[in-house]
């Protein structure tokens, strides 16, 4: 249809504490204010809705489920999200899940094949900012981590998402979300996806 933006499915990731959810909300509001039909779906929330049906009562318990159960929930969430018809759909997720078995990909190939993303965006921040944000966040039951651990998570995230980009042929961009600069970061996201 004339006047509509090309349909885009944007996977946007960031380790806990980068301000990803706040940033995505800002981007969606800006696009909708500009008469674009944009929405955001939290991949973890969709997975949690499915997990509640099997008795999981805390979202942070998802990463402690057996890998096969996580895989099943990932597939169900991807199918639900892939049915969204907005001009721009942001998939707010994580590149990996830390589990007892190691780092499990948040976007394994079977999920990518269902989602068919057009863009990958990594939201990042300086490790010390991430550490401070995590320490202040009393709304989640997060594992304790050092700045060195945060640097490791950032490196794992980039390698996981780089692999996703190679598998799908979709571009990848890292955007810094520094403290107090959410508007600036939001404008960079909008420019990156070309809307």
pTM listed for this prediction:
0.85
pLDDT at residue 140, as a whole number: 65
State which of 4-8, 107-111, 135-139 shows the largest mean pLDDT: 107-111
Chain centroid offset of residue 13 CA: 3
Query: How far is Cα 108 from Cα 71, in angstroms, rounded to an integer?
Result: 9
Please determine, for residue 4, whether its predicted confidence score (pLDDT) is greater than 50. Answer: no
For the chain, list the domains and their CATH numbers.
8-193 (3.40.50.300)
DSSP bridge partners of 13:
93, 122
Strand bridging mode 96-99 / 119-124:
unpaired
Q: What percent of the chain has pLDDT over 70?
A: 94
Query: How far is Cα 129 from Cα 42, in angstroms, rounded to an integer?
Result: 23
Query: How far is Cα 153 from Cα 38, in angstroms, rounded to an integer?
Result: 29
Q: What is the pLDDT of residues 138-184, one digit of tens each?
A: 666 666 788 999 999 999 999 999 999 999 999 999 999 988 899 99
């Amino acid at each position: 249809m004339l006047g509509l933006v090309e349909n885009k499915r944007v996977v946007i990731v960031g380790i806990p504490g980068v301000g990803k959810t706040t940033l995505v909300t800002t981007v969606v509001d800006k696009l909708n204010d500009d008469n674009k039909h944009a929405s955001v779906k939290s991949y973890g929330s969709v997975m949690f809705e499915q997990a509640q049906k099997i008795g999981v009562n805390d979202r942070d318990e998802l990463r402690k489920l057996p890998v096969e159960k996580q895989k099943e929930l990932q597939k169900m969430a991807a199918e639900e999200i892939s049915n969204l018809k907005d001009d721009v759909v942001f998939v707010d997720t994580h590149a990996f899940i830390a589990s007892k078995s190691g780092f499990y990909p948040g976007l394994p190939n079977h999920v990518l094949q269902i989602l068919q993303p057009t863009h990958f965006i990594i939201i990042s921040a300086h490790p010390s900012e991430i550490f401070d944000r995590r320490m202040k966040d009393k709304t989640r039951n997060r594992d304790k981590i050092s700045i060195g651990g945060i640097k490791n998570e950032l490196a794992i995230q980039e390698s996981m998402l780089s692999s996703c980009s190679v598998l799908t042929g979709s571009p990848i961009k890292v955007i810094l979300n520094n403290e107090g600069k959410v508007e600036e970061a939001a404008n960079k996201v909008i420019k990156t996806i070309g809307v």
